[in-house]
Amino acid sequence: MKLSKYTKSNFYKFYKYIRNIFFFSFLKRLFFKLNPNLAKKIQNELHFLILKEENSFLKDSKGVIHIGAHTGEERYLYDYYSNNVLWFEPIPSIYDELNKNLKNFSNQFAFNKLITDIDKKKYDFHITNNYCSSSIYEIKLHEKLWPTVKEINTITLKSTTLDSFFYEKKIQINKYDTIVMDTQGAELLALKGAEKILKNIKFVKTEVADFESYEGCCQLKDIDDFLLKRGFTLISKIIFMTGEVGNYYDVVYIKQE
């Protein structure tokens, strides 16, 4: 689904009313009782409207490199902005589900890859019961904010870097000028393995904590230091989870021309 800018504007105006009815009224509860499967599908497809404002920078993005894809929850958001997307998801079973979710999105492609700063390194990858909190690092203070999230399994995965991936696949980097990351503490490693392509990157968005959420993970100060030294400026910083141990943020950086 690709929309012109004019059509997108009308599309958003129309669907924001549907969103208000569906997300914030008794009709949602009624619909879930009458047809829970269809209601869940509609909710997932409209969820991008809630995310639209905080991700408005995507309107100026050519394409997105999304590291830590999970099941591709943002696929409708990217489709709204007509972004080309490369998704990277390391867990094989979640990757399979991601692929199914992308079947109707012709310019979004998934890869079963673990992205770090080293090629062909073997990692113990810690699987959690919600899957989206899985990481190369073991849980530490993360459990103070999400006590129900537990490690349930460990698998061995081999890593690659973004620089090597783009070189080996012969992908044109000029189609992708945005990096989005949600890798549970390994975000700095992903950036270190992307030094070459960072020259062509305009936006970086990442989820990051200001405390040691995982054992030995990077923190906000590390991401700040790395990107600021490479000409990026912080343009958005939103707290989405807070507690006694610290905060979790969604942060967005832009490269200064």
Identify the pLDDT of residue 173: 92
Query: Does residue 35 carry a pLDDT above 70?
Result: no
Which pLDDT does position 32 carry in this prediction? 58
Average pLDDT over residues 128-132: 95
Percent of the chain scored above 90 by pLDDT? 74
Domain boundaries, the chain: 1-46, 53-255
pLDDT tens for 173-190 read: 999 999 999 999 999 999
Residue 4 is predicted with a pLDDT of 46
Q: What would the pLDDT profile of 133-192 be if each residue is shown by its tens digit?
A: 999 999 999 999 999 999 999 999 999 999 999 999 999 999 999 999 999 999 999 999
For residue 199, the tally of other CB atoms under 10 A from its CB is 11
So what's the pLDDT on residue 20? 58
Tens digit of each residue's pLDDT (9 = 90 or more) over 220-245: 999 999 999 999 999 999 999 999 99
Q: What distance separates the 2 farthest-apart alpha carbons in the chain?
A: 54
In DSSP notation, 47-93 reads: THHHHTGGGGGGGG-SEEEEES-TTTTTHHHHHHTT-EEEEE--SHH
| pLDDT above 70: residue 45 | no
Confidence tier at 6 by pLDDT (50, 70, 90): very low
Query: CB–CB of 199/173 below 8 Å?
Result: no
Q: Distance between CA atoms of 196 and 183, rounded to whole angstroms?
A: 20
Amino acid at site 242: T
Average of pLDDT values for 105-133? 97
pLDDT in tens, 14-27: 655 655 555 555 55
Q: What is the pTM of this model?
A: 0.84
CATH number of 53-255, picked from 3.40.50.80, 3.40.50.150, 3.30.43.10, 3.40.190.10: 3.40.50.150
Instruction: Give residue 76's pLDDT.
Output: 86
Phi-psi region of 194 (alpha: psi -120 to 50; beta: other; left: phi over 0): alpha
**What would the pLDDT profile of 56-97 be if each residue is shown by its tens digit?**
899 999 999 999 999 999 998 898 888 999 999 999 999 999
Q: How confident is the model at residue 2 (pLDDT cuts 50, 70, 90)?
A: very low
What pLDDT score was predicted for residue 3? 45
